[in-house]
């Protein structure tokens, strides 16, 4: 089980990571919300631990942005703020559970396992849509055994589409998934990337259809 811990207190983060690793968890640590939201691939994680008292982007905002990306990864809040209103705010933002500092590691690991039991998240090795295959171990797309050569943003957008195969994905969601918040781009950038993807998917039996005013959706087409 792989965990992402978002905690700015380096000493606490290192201590917790060592203890959780001793419990056979794989733990990656980041010290700020921006890195968690923009730099972490949540599809690689089974659970995210978020401290509410982060510098810059608050823990509450981190949770809101993760949920805005339609991520269903379980989120456990760590907070030194015991006020009921603050805990409720975290849960309303999209967290699944919270733990107040100081806490016992045994309780933390018990809550992690409980969240995983509730989520019953299973990661398939491959996602398929018609002839299109996404290998989640290699992080590679292929068609009929041939790997597709994609740029980073082409990959991100195609992955977002295949994970929601059959459902529309808005340009806004694709923009947030493929560009950092500090980058000054507009929705036309997504149109350009989708155009390039369509050319690479020609004659594969897979099409990216435009739903005007809604977004894009993967469809099977005749090769």
Same domain? For 31 and 67 the reply is yes
What span, in angstroms and rounded, lies between the C-alpha atoms of 217 and 214?
9
Q: Taking Cα atoms as reference points, which of 52, 46, 60, 59 lies closest to residue 80?
A: 52
Same domain? For 140 and 169 the reply is yes
Q: Is the Cβ–Cβ distance between 158 and 119 less than 8 Å?
A: no
List the chain pLDDT tens, one digit each, 223 residues.
678 999 999 999 989 988 887 776 778 889 999 988 887 777 778 899 999 889 889 999 999 999 988 888 999 998 887 678 877 888 899 999 999 888 888 899 889 888 877 765 445 568 899 999 988 667 789 998 899 999 878 988 898 899 888 889 888 878 866 664 445 677 888 999 999 999 999 999 999 999 988 999 999 976 4
pLDDT score recorded for residue 3:
87
Of 119, 146, 162, the position where a domain reaches its end is 119
pLDDT score recorded for residue 167:
87
Same domain? For 148 and 40 the reply is no
pLDDT score recorded for residue 182:
41
Domains of the chain: total: 2
- The CATH number that applies at residue 198 is 1.10.10.10
Same domain? For 40 and 139 the reply is no
Provide the residue range defining the domain that includes 164.
Answer: 126-220
Of 82, 102, 119, the position where a domain reaches its end is 119
- The CATH number that applies at residue 80 is 3.40.50.2300
Of 96, 119, 142, the position where a domain reaches its end is 119
List the structure tokens of 110.
């018990």
List the structure tokens of 147.
């790997």
Same domain? For 28 and 113 the reply is yes
Same domain? For 30 and 65 the reply is yes
pLDDT score recorded for residue 180:
45
Same domain? For 197 and 135 the reply is yes
Same domain? For 111 and 190 the reply is no
Same domain? For 7 and 114 the reply is yes
Same domain? For 22 and 48 the reply is yes
Question: In terms of C-beta distances under 8 Å and separation of at least 24 residues, what long-range contacts does 193-201 make, across chains too?
Answer: 193/151, 193/153, 193/154, 193/157, 194/157, 196/151, 196/154, 197/150, 197/154, 197/157, 197/158, 200/148, 200/149, 200/150, 200/154, 201/132, 201/143
Same domain? For 87 and 147 the reply is no
């Amino acid at each position: 089980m792989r965990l992402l811990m978002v905690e700015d207190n380096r000493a606490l983060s290192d201590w917790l990571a060592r203890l959780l690793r001793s419990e056979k968890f794989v733990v990656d640590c980041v010290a700020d919300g921006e890195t968690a939201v923009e730099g972490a691939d949540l599809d690689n994680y089974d659970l995210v631990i978020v401290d509410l008292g982060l510098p810059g982007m608050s823990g509450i905002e981190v949770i809101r942005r993760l949920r805005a990306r339609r991520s269903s990864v379980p989120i456990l809040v760590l907070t030194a703020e015991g006020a009921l209103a603050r805990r409720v705010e975290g849960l309303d933002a999209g967290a699944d559970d919270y733990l107040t500092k100081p806490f016992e590691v045994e309780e933390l690991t018990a809550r992690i396992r409980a969240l995983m039991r509730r989520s019953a998240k299973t990661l398939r090795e491959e996602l398929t849509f018609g002839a299109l295959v996404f290998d989640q171990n290699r992080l590679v797309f292929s068609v009929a055994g041939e790997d597709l050569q994609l740029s980073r943003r082409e990959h991100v957008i195609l992955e977002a589409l295949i994970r929601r195969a059959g459902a529309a994905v808005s340009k806004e969601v694709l923009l947030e998934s493929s560009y950092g918040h500090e980058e000054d781009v507009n929705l036309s950038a997504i149109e350009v990337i989708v155009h390039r993807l369509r050319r690479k998917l020609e004659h594969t039996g897979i099409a990216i259809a435009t739903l005007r005013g809604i977004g894009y959706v993967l469809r099977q087409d005749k090769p």
